[in-house]
């Protein structure tokens, strides 16, 4: 069996160990924790030990196991141990604060939870205790929490663990009760149609959304991305995005695993508004891609990463991402009206996607709330059809409705960034009793420049229809631009700040 043939995670991990052996699979350059490396052989052997221990502790097909672990060998080990025995691996963001963390843990119905003890100087066992004060009244043998009714055990490591936590040896020591033959028997009952993953994409602005994915689709996409990204055996792939989200998982870890490449991790990942995803980037901030690189267009957690790509990096007038010129294998895309009917060329509608690797559903949510009757997913992204090409014009929730007219923030931002002294701009709508919304803008000046708002207003009136021209401008320093951990600009926070500043004028 080769990587192209695998249809389940247990097949992937065993095949990779045979094919790539003692080559480094994943490394970590630690800051507050130890530097670590695992070969493909070690990854298979050590995850098998954990998997046998989990089986002995009652974890099996369909068990819902969460793990709060940063990028590195430990993430790969726990993912492998959980997924290879048919349990559902639920990676949970290390960035969640207390209220968000409790919401995600409750929504996900986890019965077991693995917690990395230390990361970037933070004690995550203590963070969980702070988020769930009731844990202090329980020991590990009697874990019964009203807040998390299905949670029965928590595992971590290190000294002085709270009484509610088992040490990792609790899992490892139980492995002797399960033979290698029994592990192989369990793995043989894991099928491509079984759920492998549940990835949570929210928790701060809205209810947490658990996106389900199966073994077959995840393995198919790992190999697809391996080919598209041209990852070769022996290469080093740097993990710049968190693996608990689809970007790090499907753009680095799993494709590199399938290719026999080394994933190089650092203890933390960074955000920077100069390279924010889904924003109008200044021309001098756009990455210059080498020849042969793919110009990715749109993707999402529900599609296990990018489902489209373009022939060019940007088209004038559509600055948010590459155009949709090509659709990834085994996906279909359409632009539809409010009745889920395809729009004509020259019209705008919602981009909808359907295909093999599309999420099978969202945990605890009605399928009809997110899917059309014929199986297309409501992405919430708006697209303009130009012949065979689709242009992304923004999220439906980001469009501004002012005086009965629609304004695309991206169009105004692109014009602003062409004006003297403006490096970046963020255009939002704030409530207005007469016009519905007012168009307002946050401006980040170029280093050392002074922005004259009167000049900007005059120039914009020459370039844009009057209803698109902002009614007010506010200066932001680069470090004041609020960011989400996913390296997207936190537009709702900008809205709230601009509402505050506008009211204070």
From 362, 396, 430, give the residue that closes a domain.
396
295 by DSSP, 3-state: which? strand
Between strands 236-238 and 262-266, the pairing is: parallel
* C-alpha 482 chain-centroid distance: 18
One domain for residues 294 and 200: no
pLDDT in tens, 404-461: 888 888 889 888 988 988 999 999 999 988 888 999 999 999 988 888 999 999 999 9
Q: How far apart, in whole angstroms, are the C-alpha atoms of residue 279 and residue 464?
A: 20
The confidence score (pLDDT) of residue 279 equals: 63
Q: How far apart, in whole angstroms, are the C-alpha atoms of residue 149 and residue 61?
A: 20
From 396, 415, 433, give the residue that closes a domain.
396
The neighbour count for residue 160, using CB atoms within 10 Å, is 7
328 by DSSP, 3-state: which? coil
Tell me which H or E stretch contains 456.
helix 453-463
Give the bridge partners for 303, in sequence order.
none
The confidence score (pLDDT) of residue 398 equals: 81
Q: How far is CA 478 from CA 274, 359, 365, 430, 483, in A?
A: 9, 36, 38, 22, 11
* Residue 255, φ and ψ in degrees, nearest 5: -60, -40
On whether the CB atoms of residues 340 and 375 are closer than 8 A, the answer is no
* CATH number for position 22: 3.40.50.980
The confidence score (pLDDT) of residue 289 equals: 59
* CATH number for position 350: 2.30.38.10
One domain for residues 254 and 291: no
One domain for residues 62 and 199: yes
pLDDT in tens, 162-217: 999 999 999 999 999 999 999 999 999 999 999 999 999 853 345 689 999 999 99
Q: How far apart, in whole angstroms, are the C-alpha atoms of residue 98 and residue 119?
A: 16
Tell me which H or E stretch contains 150.
none
* CATH number for position 417: 3.30.300.30
307 lies in which domain range? 273-396
Tell me which H or E stretch contains 420.
none
The angle at the Cα of 219, spanning 214 to 223, to the nearest 5 degrees, equals 150
158 by DSSP, 3-state: which? coil
The neighbour count for residue 293, using CB atoms within 10 Å, is 13
Q: What is the secondary structure of 35-100 as a DSSP string?
A: -EEEEHHHHHHHHHHHHHHHHHTT--TT-EEEEE--SSHHHHHHHHHHHTTTPEEEE--TT--HHH
From 266, 288, 305, give the residue that closes a domain.
266
One domain for residues 209 and 323: no
One domain for residues 53 and 143: yes
One domain for residues 109 and 187: yes
Q: How far apart, in whole angstroms, are the C-alpha atoms of residue 427 and residue 439?
A: 7
One domain for residues 451 and 491: yes
Q: What is the mean pLDDT of residues 304-321?
A: 91
Q: What is the mean pLDDT of residues 119-148?
A: 93
One domain for residues 167 and 286: no
One domain for residues 391 and 292: yes
Tell the residue number behind the tokens 């098998």, with chain if given.
48
One domain for residues 307 and 390: yes
Residue partners of 51: CB distance under 8 A and separation at least 6: 80, 81, 82, 84, 85, 183, 186
Between strands 262-266 and 24-29, the pairing is: parallel
Among 30-34, 177-181, 279-283, 290-294, the range with the most confident prediction by mean pLDDT is: 177-181
One domain for residues 357 and 426: no
On whether the CB atoms of residues 172 and 53 are closer than 8 A, the answer is yes
pLDDT in tens, 11-46: 999 999 999 999 999 999 988 888 999 999 999 999
One domain for residues 331 and 317: yes
pLDDT in tens, 48-104: 999 999 999 999 999 999 999 999 999 999 999 999 999 999 999 998 888 889 999
Q: Which of 116, 300, 92, 114 is nearest to 197 (CA)?
A: 92
The confidence score (pLDDT) of residue 287 equals: 58
Give the bridge partners for 67, in sequence order.
91, 114
* Residue 304, φ and ψ in degrees, nearest 5: 55, 45
């Amino acid at each position: 069996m080769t990587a192209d043939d695998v249809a389940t995670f247990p097949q992937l991990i065993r095949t990779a160990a045979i094919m790539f052996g003692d080559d480094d699979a994943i490394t970590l350059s630690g800051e507050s924790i130890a530097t670590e490396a695992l070969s493909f052989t070690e990854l298979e052997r050590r995850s098998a030990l954990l998997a046998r221990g989990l089986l002995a502790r009652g974890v099996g097909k369909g068990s819902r196991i969460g793990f709060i672990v940063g990028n590195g060998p430990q993430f790969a080990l726990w993912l492998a141990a959980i997924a290879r025995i048919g349990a559902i691996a639920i990676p949970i963001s290390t960035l969640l604060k207390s209220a968000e963390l409790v919401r995600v843990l409750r929504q996900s119905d986890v019965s077991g939870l693995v917690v990395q003890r230390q990361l970037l100087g933070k004690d995550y066992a203590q963070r969980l205790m702070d988020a769930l004060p009731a844990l202090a009244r329980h020991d590990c043998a009697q874990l019964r929490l009203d807040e998390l009714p299905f949670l029965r055990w928590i595992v971590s490591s290190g000294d002085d663990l709270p009484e509610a936590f088992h040490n990792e040896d609790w899992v490892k020591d139980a492995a002797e009760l399960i033979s290698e033959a029994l592990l192989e028997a369990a793995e043989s009952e894991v099928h491509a149609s079984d759920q492998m993953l549940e990835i949570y994409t929210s928790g701060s602005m809205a209810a947490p959304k658990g996106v389900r994915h199966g073994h077959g689709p995840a393995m198919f996409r790992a190999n697809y991305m391996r080919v598209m990204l041209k990852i070769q055996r022996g290469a080093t792939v740097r993990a710049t995005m968190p693996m608990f989200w689809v970007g790090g998982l499907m753009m680095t870890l799993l494709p590199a695993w399938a290719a026999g490449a080394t994933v190089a991790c650092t203890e933390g990942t960074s955000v920077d508004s100069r390279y924010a995803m889904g924003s109008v980037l200044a021309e001098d901030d756009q990455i210059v891609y080498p020849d042969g690189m793919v110009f990715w267009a749109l993707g999402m957690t529900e599609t296990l990463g990018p489902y489209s790509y373009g022939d060019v990096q940007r088209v004038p007038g559509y600055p948010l991402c590459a155009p949709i010129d090509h659709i990834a294998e085994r996906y279909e895309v359409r632009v539809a009206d409010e009745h889920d009917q395809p729009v004509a060329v020259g019209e705008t509608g919602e981009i909808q996607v359907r295909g093999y690797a599309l999420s099978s559903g969202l945990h605890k949510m009605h399928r009809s709330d997110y899917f059309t009757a014929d199986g297309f997913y409501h992405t919430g992204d708006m697209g303009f059809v130009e012949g065979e090409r689709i242009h992304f014009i923004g999220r439906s929730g980001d469009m501004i409705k002012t005086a009965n007219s629609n304004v695309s923030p991206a169009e105004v931002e692109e014009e602003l960034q062409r004006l003297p002294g403006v490096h970046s701009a963020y255009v939002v709508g704030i409530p207005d009793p007469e016009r519905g919304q007012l168009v307002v803008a946050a401006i980040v000046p170029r280093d050392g420049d002074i922005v004259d708002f009167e000049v900007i207003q005059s120039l914009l009136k020459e370039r844009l229809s009057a209803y698109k021209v902002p009614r007010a401008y506010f200066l932001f320093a680069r470090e004041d631009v609020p960011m989400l951990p996913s390296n997207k600009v936190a537009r709702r926070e900008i809205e709230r700040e601009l509402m505050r500043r506008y009211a204070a004028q």
